[in-house]
Structure 1
Amino acid sequence: MPSSPVIVSLPIADRPTSHRFYSEALGLATLGEPAADGIPEPLQFTVNDGLRLMLVPSGGFGWVIGDHEVADRGRSECVLGLSAESPAEVQRIVEQARSAGARVVTPPATQPWGYAGTFADPDGHLWMVTAQ
């Protein structure tokens, strides 16, 4: 198994919108040198030492997936998860994401598996924040 970080790639509609959202909502830092638009290309964020998030414009995403269809906005194929230390941190992260433009899908609340809230980024990708 390679020791390099896993890269999760998501299709996006607009680089500046996604760059701003992930910087503000989750406080993620980008990798690489800025391109002409001031945003690194490829647009990658460090989530932690073992995980990077790459945001790829929809057209470029098609080069990778070929004839496989991407789920339409509002239809999810996966939910990305973030761990929080406490219910208060779940609430803070979800509110920070909402303030940055996320749509809160499931408000933070006690669930059978812990305390969780879910939000959708500007492209409809779901993020669930959970505290055990």
Structure 2
Amino acid sequence: MPTFTDGQPVIVALPTEDRRKSHDFYTALGLKATGEPGGDGLPEPLQFEVNAGLRLMFVPPGGFGWVTNNRPTASGEQTECLLGLPVGSPRDVDTVVGTARQAGGTIVMEPAQQPWGYSAVFADPDDHLWQVTAG
């Protein structure tokens, strides 16, 4: 069994068509971008710290294809994964979803009580799906 590095965050890389739009959307959600500014004034690579153990990294299609040997990515009509975001209370679910809506996200499932908790799903500007849940 390999030894994974302790203390280093897991990085989830997602393709983005528009770095500025991704930056503005995730900043509006309250996430902090990390790194030194690139030529466009945004951190390069564009990463957000979700918590001490997780970072999101947004990569333009050319760079994403370079790393994945040009494997196709899912279109906006396909779902390849659902990212889960646990929050502390139903009110926090409502707040995150409201903020996502105001920042240009698409609400896929309005906040409601589900068997697994109070939950909602939204899509970011690149159609990546987020399920926000208060257990």
TM class, shorter-length = over 0.9
Q: What is the CA-CA distance between 1:73 and the residue it aligns to? A: 1.2
Hey, what's the Cα distance between the residues in 2 that align with 1:79 and 1:46? 18
Count of equivalent residues: 131
Amino acid at match of 2:22: S
Aligned partner (choices 120, 124, 128) of residue 125 of structure 1: 128
Question: Equivalent residue for 2:82?
Answer: 79
Please give the alpha-carbon distance, in whole angstroms, between the structure 1 residues aligned to 2:70 and 2:19: 23
Amino acid across the alignment from 2:15? P
Shift of 1:36: 2.1
User: Counterpart in 2 of 1:103?
Assistant: 106
Structure 2: tracts of 5 or more residues without a match? none
Alignment of 1:1-132 (within 5 A): 1-3=4-6, 4-24=8-28, 26-132=29-135
What amino acid sits opposite 1:120 in the alignment?
Answer: A
Relative to the length of structure 2, the TM-score reads 0.94
Rounded Cα–Cα distance in structure 2 between residues aligned with 1:33 and 1:131: 34
**Structure 1 unaligned regions, length at least 5:** none
Deviation at 1:32, TM superposition (A): 0.9
Q: Which runs of 4+ in 1 moved over 6 A?
A: none
RMSD: 0.9
Q: CA deviation at 1:70?
A: 1.0
Which whole-Å CA distance do the structure 2 matches of 1:105 and 1:28 have between them?
21
